[in-house]
Amino acid sequence: MKRGFSLIEILLAVALFSLVASLFIFLIIESYKMSETARDVVLATDLAEEGMEVVRSIRDYKFADLKNGTYGLAIENNRWILKGRSELIGKFTRQIIISSAGTNRKKIEAVVFWQPRTGPRREVRLFSRITNWVR
């Protein structure tokens, strides 16, 4: 007598295979989302650090150019300058916020934010205090 697979065994095997395949697909998609988020955080942090370095460069050239307010960055005549209220770099928006922290001192905040494909807006903030050490 020949025995084959019953209909119930086939249905169970297909269901089990579908469950395992769905799990692997879910894990691959979530892994991709996590790596994209990590990449965005690294890029945003690099842009914020660059903003801080630019402000230090402006300080070294002419501290008086660091007026309180919110700015973007631009290059004019081969020099970095504060310009506008923000700047768009790909999907990232960068703002430099300058406020007084005493005589010949400034508090600097570099903010980079972006909207991921899914989820809420994300941002990276770096803070620093600088002094007019040239005086």
- Is pLDDT of 67 > 90? yes
Give dist(CA 25, CA 1) in Å, integer. 41
Residues of the chain above pLDDT 90, percent: 84
- Asked whether residue 34 is domain-assigned, the answer is yes
pTM comes to: 0.80
Q: Flag whether 56 is in a domain.
A: yes
* 1 lies in some domain: no
**Which structural domain range is residue 120 located in?**
7-131
> For the chain, how many residues are written?
135
User: For the chain, how many structural domains are there in total?
Assistant: 1
> At residue 1, does pLDDT exceed 60?
no
Q: Strand runs (DSSP E) across 77-121, as ranges?
A: 79-83, 87-89, 92-100, 105-114
Q: Are 53 and 127 spatial neighbours (Cβ–Cβ below 8 Å)? A: no
Confidence check: pLDDT of 94 > 60: yes
SS3 of residue 57 by DSSP: helix
Q: Is residue 17 part of a domain?
A: yes
- Model confidence over 18-38: pLDDT tens digits? 999 999 999 999 999 899 999
